[in-house]
Structure formats: structure tokens, C-alpha cells
Amino acid sequence: MPVTRKAQKGRQEGSEPSGLITEKSFDGANRARLSGPGLRSFAAIAGQWQLSERARLLLLGSPARSTYHNWMAKAQSGRKLTLPLDSLLRISALLGIHKALRILFPDDERARQWLHSPNAAPLFGGQRPLDLMLSGTQLGLLEVRRFLDAWRGGLFAAPLAHPVEERAWADSDIEIVDG
């Protein structure tokens, strides 16, 4: 949607419309503001999903164990902490996955089971969604997030274990009603 003249006049020179991600979104002050709460949320979700320390490290981008424990100690005690941008982006994707699972599944245990169970959807190829998330790349996390977002939006769902229909529909199964 193009910006109208009126909107352009109302904006100060050099300012960006709200809601856009700019370089300032990634500056040290903003990362410091998000790091503690983000890491505490990450720890809570990882605990709920029963993730090992190795899995937690992979999800955060493979920091050294000592670095991870230092981050966690700072986050839990409320001390100043500034995570690398890569780790914050990974936490953001994980928060999106968590949110989608909370929407799609009636309880946390079923969501955890979905993550830990083999999945026949083409994206997973029979592997667990968690395996894709633990591939070590941001892309793995983002692919799982996109899959879940599309599923909850009704665009795609994983194949069902038991087909709803035993046979394909025929033309005679379809009735057009005027009205």
C-alpha cells in the first residue's frame, strides 16, 4: 500500500513508519532490553518441552556451555545481559512455535508430544519436528514456525494417521443447490 501525501507530510524527516524493522531494532540497547526476558521465556519453554542442555544450546545457536550458563545466571538474577542478534532471532522463532502449539493443541503435553513424535508431513520426512529445530540453523526453527503458522491459519495440516474418507469423491457425490 503506497504512503499517501498526507502521511508523508505528517512524518518527520528521516523517521520510519511504526512497526517497521530498522537497524535501530538491532542496536545494543534494544537487544539488552529484550535479552533477559527472552532468555527467561526460553528457559521456561525448554523446561516445559523437557529439552536437554545439548538441545538448548543448539536452539540458541551453539554458544559454549560456560557462555550459556553465564547468560542463564544473569537472566535469572536480573543482571544486565545482551545476547547476540542470532540468539535473539532464534528465541523469537521459538516463541512463535510455542504460541502456535498453544493455539493448536488443547494442552501442553499434546504439544510436547507433537514436537517429539515422528511426523509424516513432507517438511519433516518422518522425522520429529524437534529434529528440524535442532539442525543447528535458524532456518530449521523458521520452517517449523512457518509450518505451524500455516496449519493454524488453515492453509496446511499434517496428514492424518487415519484417513477421513475411504475413497475419493466422485461427481455423483457433489450436489449443487441453488439458493
Q: Is residue 123 part of a domain?
A: yes
Please choose, from the candidates 124, 174, 116, the residue with its C-alpha nearest in 3D space to the C-alpha of residue 151: 124
46 occurs within a structural domain: yes
Does 5 reside within a domain? no
Joined together, the cell numbers standing for residue 88 give 535473539
Give the C-alpha separation, 26 to 106, whole Å: 35
| 137 belongs to a structural domain | yes
**Would you give the DSSP letter of residue 117?**
S
pLDDT at 6: 42
What pLDDT is stored for residue 5 in this prediction? 40
- Average pLDDT per 10 consecutive residues for the chain, totaling 179 residues: 42 55 78 95 97 97 97 96 95 96 92 95 94 95 94 67 58 77
Q: How far apart, in whole angstroms, are the C-alpha atoms of residue 5 and residue 77?
A: 49
CB-CB neighbours of 8 under 10 Å: 9
Q: Is residue 113 part of a domain?
A: yes
Query: What DSSP character marks residue 4?
Result: P
Q: What is the C-alpha to C-alpha distance for residues 116 and 162, in angstroms, rounded to an integer?
A: 20
Q: Is 2 contained in some domain?
A: no
- The pLDDT assigned to 173 comes to 76
Specify the pLDDT at position 8: 42
How many distinct structural domains can be found in the chain? 1
Q: List Cβ neighbours of 55 (8 Å cut-off, separation of 6 or more).
A: 46, 130, 134
**From CA 124, how far away is CA 41, in angstroms rounded?**
26
Its domain, for residue 87, covers 29-152
Give a yes or no: residue 118 inside a domain. Answer: yes
* Residue 100 · residue 151 · CB < 8 Å: yes
Residues 6+ apart with CB under 8 A from 46: 55, 56, 59
